[in-house]
């Protein structure tokens, strides 16, 4: 069923059409003056010129042409020609009741699920996840879940950095530290030990050491480059060692991502497309898109009507090596040809905008991705410290994701203790609650910002139990659960949602029925903050209703059942919203 605003828009569109005007003028939106009416139609102002009559008069004519007594309540024309619109209480109640019985809460499902890849990892093998991986993980997971809820077949790809120079550096470094390891015997073909000779903790200090040496020691750098090439050519010992790096890193990443409720369907890495690069380059050559420039192979992606200078995409360096653009292009090819993706969304740092512009243009020019496949960079801003600059530790490093999560959970635990909350629960449950509260705080602190904005990371603010925070949302959801639990104990059963009788009740209902529109916005803009904002509004409207209408002591049984029905659908919506944001709700707090 179409959303309420879609229904209203159709009704007003018909009215405009009956006057010989374009039905698009009938668009009905949520009112900017809710004290006057919940909805408004501003089409008369825009249509006045085409209609050749004053906007107010036209608005009157539109209102007169409306014939939907069961749906449209009071209408009035205000100001220069705004049409204020109310819906009948009956229709509002019925709409909420339909939402209650609908598995997707009123969201229309497409006939066919489009295959979509969401690329939102960007983690690197042998390097610990850090603050830079926080936003793609949180935002990407939310986008993926939102697309799925809207009926797409969306899968997440971590797109691991597992194949670059950093691996060569590590190999070269380890080779000096442990020349006796079997992996370094050029003749050895295996089998090699199954147990990794290095742990994640080892890698976390080995990699910075190797990278530092690479910068200052030219001979070491040459050995690292050589190791990279040999790895990519398939030297068995190097491959075996590399596989260990990947295995221990991925295991560790899964734990950290898991704490954030982030999971990937595809754990593909850059290495995966290595073998298709050479054929791809021939394909590009055959398409006439390949050029040589200063000894390198490039694709010139500039267009005649460009307002800015777009440098060519470099595919093969003058020394024969590949670059990350090469890998990304090959990944596009795999997604189109093998995964049959209809769209690929890249949830990647805004600073990579030019890179994606180049890769996508090259993909079009070389015929790797047809125009019908959507390739889109969905950028996000930086996570800043209190000074407004990208977050750093005291030593100037990027803070680790694991420590950020631990800090959030610890802070949540402190708050619980300070406020004497959840003290009567068992210790284990208390800790589990603190974990959910801390993670929710961290995630909501991020998700309430628009994707492209930079934001200030202020843990104290995020874990605050007052105001627009993750904990507030969890508290609201838990309080709703508590009502339904109490109702069950009293053998009270939720029933048909009736037309509202109380302002707060009506306000909540009007909020709930917006869900399909809000979801559509989140989908269209790939912006979870619309859902985050809406979840807060739902919670707030519920809390108002909760204050105004005492559900469990309501004497009228059908009214009480209706309210329980409303409570039930509110909970389902709130839990759905939080689930789309990948935020877990505890049973109680």
Partner RNA sequence: GCCCGCGUAGCUCAGGGGAUAGAGCAACUGCCUCCUAAGCAGUAGGCCGCAGGUUCGAAUCCUGCCGCGGGCGCCA
DSSP sequence for 194-231: SS-SS-HHHHHHHHHHHHHHHHH-HHHHHHHHHHHHHH
Using the rule CB under 7 A, is 198 a contact of RNA?
A: no
Cβ proximity to RNA, 239 vs 514, nearer residue: 514
CB of 141 to RNA, least distance (A): 19
Task: Tell me which stretch binds RNA (CB under 7 A): 57-65, 195-203, 314-322, 368-376.
Answer: 314-322
Using the rule CB under 7 A, is 488 a contact of RNA?
A: no
> Which of 340, 466, 491, 555 is the binder for RNA (CB under 7 A)?
466
> Which of 178, 226, 285, 351 is the binder for RNA (CB under 7 A)?
351
Q: Which strands make up the sheet holding 153-157, listed edge to edge?
A: 153-157, 115-119, 343-346, 374-377
For residue 380, give the 3-state DSSP assignment.
Answer: strand
CB of 277 to RNA, least distance (A): 12
Using the rule CB under 7 A, is 398 a contact of RNA?
A: no
- Give the contacts of 577 (CB within 8 A, at least 6 positions apart): 531, 534, 535, 538
Q: Are strands 290-293 and 296-299 parallel, antiparallel or unpaired?
A: antiparallel
> Which of 146, 271, 331, 527 is the binder for RNA (CB under 7 A)?
527
CB of 373 to RNA, least distance (A): 23
Q: What angle (nearest 5°) sits at the alpha carbon of residue 58, between those of residues 53 and 61? A: 135
Q: Tell me, rounded to whole angstroms, the distance of Cα 426 from its chain centroid.
A: 34
Q: Are 479 and 571 in contact (CB under 8 A)?
A: no
Number of residues that bind RNA (CB under 7 A): 106
> Which of 10, 18, 19, 46 is the binder for RNA (CB under 7 A)?
46
Using the rule CB under 7 A, is 56 a contact of RNA?
A: no
Tokens of 525: 């803009």
Using the rule CB under 7 A, is 458 a contact of RNA?
A: yes
Write out the binding residues for RNA, residues 235-254 only, by CB under 7 A: none
Residue 414, phi-psi category: left (phi > 0), alpha (psi -120 to 50), beta (remainder): alpha
269 DSSP β-pair partners: 160
Residue 556, phi-psi category: left (phi > 0), alpha (psi -120 to 50), beta (remainder): beta
> Which of 533, 559, 575, 579 is the binder for RNA (CB under 7 A)?
533
Using the rule CB under 7 A, is 211 a contact of RNA?
A: no
Using the rule CB under 7 A, is 339 a contact of RNA?
A: no
Q: Which strands make up the sheet holding 296-299, listed edge to edge?
A: 290-293, 296-299, 313-316
Q: What angle (nearest 5°) sits at the alpha carbon of residue 191, between those of residues 188 and 194? A: 125
> Which of 238, 264, 515, 536 is the binder for RNA (CB under 7 A)?
536
CB of 366 to RNA, least distance (A): 16
> Which of 8, 11, 45, 206 is the binder for RNA (CB under 7 A)?
45
Cβ proximity to RNA, 125 vs 336, nearer residue: 125
Task: Tell me which stretch binds RNA (CB under 7 A): 10-18, 138-146, 281-289, 514-522.
Answer: 514-522
Using the rule CB under 7 A, is 543 a contact of RNA?
A: yes
Cβ proximity to RNA, 259 vs 517, nearer residue: 517
Using the rule CB under 7 A, is 84 a contact of RNA?
A: yes
Closest to 586 (Cα-Cα) out of 419, 428, 407, 408: 428
Cα–Cα distance for residue pair 194/6, rounded to 1 Å? 60
Using the rule CB under 7 A, is 495 a contact of RNA?
A: no
CB of 187 to RNA, least distance (A): 29
298: enclosing H helix or E strand: strand 296-299
> Which of 198, 296, 407, 432 is the binder for RNA (CB under 7 A)?
296
CB of 229 to RNA, least distance (A): 12
CB of 189 to RNA, least distance (A): 28
Cα–Cα distance for residue pair 508/148, rounded to 1 Å? 26
Cα–Cα distance for residue pair 48/408, rounded to 1 Å? 55
Using the rule CB under 7 A, is 502 a contact of RNA?
A: no
191 prior amide bond cis, ω within 30: yes
Task: Tell me which stretch binds RNA (CB under 7 A): 128-136, 275-283, 319-327, 495-503.
Answer: 319-327
> Which of 12, 16, 82, 257 is the binder for RNA (CB under 7 A)?
82
Using the rule CB under 7 A, is 307 a contact of RNA?
A: yes
Write out the binding residues for RNA, residues 352-391 only, by CB under 7 A: 352-355, 382, 384, 388
Write out the binding residues for RNA, residues 12-31 only, by CB under 7 A: 29-31
DSSP 339: S
């Amino acid at each position: 069923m179409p959303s309420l605003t879609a229904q209203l828009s159709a009704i007003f569109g018909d009215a405009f059409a009956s006057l010989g005007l374009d039905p698009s003028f009938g668009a009905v939106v949520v009112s900017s003056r809710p004290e006057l009416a919940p909805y408004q139609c501003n089409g008369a102002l825009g249509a006045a010129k085409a209609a050749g009559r004053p906007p107010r008069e036209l608005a009157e004519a539109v209102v007169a042409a409306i014939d939907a007594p069961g749906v449209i309540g009071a209408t009035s024309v205000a100001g220069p020609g705004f049409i204020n619109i109310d819906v009948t209480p009956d229709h509002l109640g019925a709409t909420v009741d339909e939402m209650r019985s609908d598995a997707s809460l009123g969201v229309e499902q497409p006939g066919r699920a489009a295959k979509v890849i969401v690329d939102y990892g960007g983690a690197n093998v042998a390097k610990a996840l850090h603050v830079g991986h926080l936003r793609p993980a949180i935002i990407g997971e939310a986008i993926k879940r939102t697309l799925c809820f809207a009926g797409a077949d969306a899968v997440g790809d971590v797109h691991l950095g597992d194949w670059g120079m950093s691996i060569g550096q590590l190999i070269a470094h380890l080779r000096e530290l442990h020349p006796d390891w079997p992996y370094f015997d050029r003749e050895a073909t295996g089998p090699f030990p199954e147990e990794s000779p290095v742990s994640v903790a080892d890698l976390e200090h080995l990699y910075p050491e190797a990278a530092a040496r690479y910068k200052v020691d030219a001979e070491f750098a040459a050995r690292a480059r050589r190791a990279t090439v040999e790895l990519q050519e398939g030297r068995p010992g190097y491959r075996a060692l590399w596989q260990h790096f990947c295995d221990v890193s991925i295991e560790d990443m899964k734990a950290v991502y898991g704490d954030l409720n982030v999971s990937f369907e595809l754990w593909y890495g850059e290495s995966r497309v290595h073998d298709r690069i050479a054929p791809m380059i021939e394909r590009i050559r055959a398409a006439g898109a390949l050029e040589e420039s200063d000894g390198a192979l490039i694709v010139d992606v500039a267009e005649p009507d460009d307002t800015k200078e777009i440098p060519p995409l470099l595919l093969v360096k003058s020394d024969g090596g590949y670059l990350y653009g090469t890998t990304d292009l090959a990944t596009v090819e795999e997604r189109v040809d093998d995964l049959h993706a209809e769209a690929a969304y890249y949830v990647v740092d805004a600073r990579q905008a030019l890179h994606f512009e180049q890769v996508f243009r090259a993909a079009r020019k070389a015929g790797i991705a047809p125009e019908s496949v959507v390739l889109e960079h969905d950028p996000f801003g930086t996570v800043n410290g209190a000074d407004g600059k990208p977050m750093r530790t005291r030593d100037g490093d990027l803070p680790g994701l694991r420590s950020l999560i631990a800090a959030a959970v610890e802070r949540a635990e402190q708050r619980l203790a300070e406020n004497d909350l959840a003290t009567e629960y068992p210790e284990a449950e208390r800790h589990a609650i603190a974990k959910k509260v801390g993670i929710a705080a961290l995630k909501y602190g991020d998700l309430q910002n628009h994707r492209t904005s930079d934001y200030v990371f202020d843990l104290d603010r995020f874990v605050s139990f007052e105001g627009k925070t993750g904990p507030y949302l969890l508290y609201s959801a838990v309080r709703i659960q508590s009502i339904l639990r109490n109702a069950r104990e009293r053998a009270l059963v939720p029933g048909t949602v009736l037309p509202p009788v109380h302002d707060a009740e009506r306000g909540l209902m009007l909020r709930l029925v917006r869900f399909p529109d809000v979801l559509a916005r989140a989908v269209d803009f790939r912006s979870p903050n619309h859902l985050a904002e809406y979840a807060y509004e739902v919670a707030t409207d519920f809390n108002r209703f909760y204050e105004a209408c005492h559900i469990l002591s309501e004497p009228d049984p059908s009214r009480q059942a209706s309210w329980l029905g409303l409570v039930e659908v509110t909970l389902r919506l709130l839990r759905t919203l939080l689930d789309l944001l990948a935020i877990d709700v505890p049973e109680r707090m």
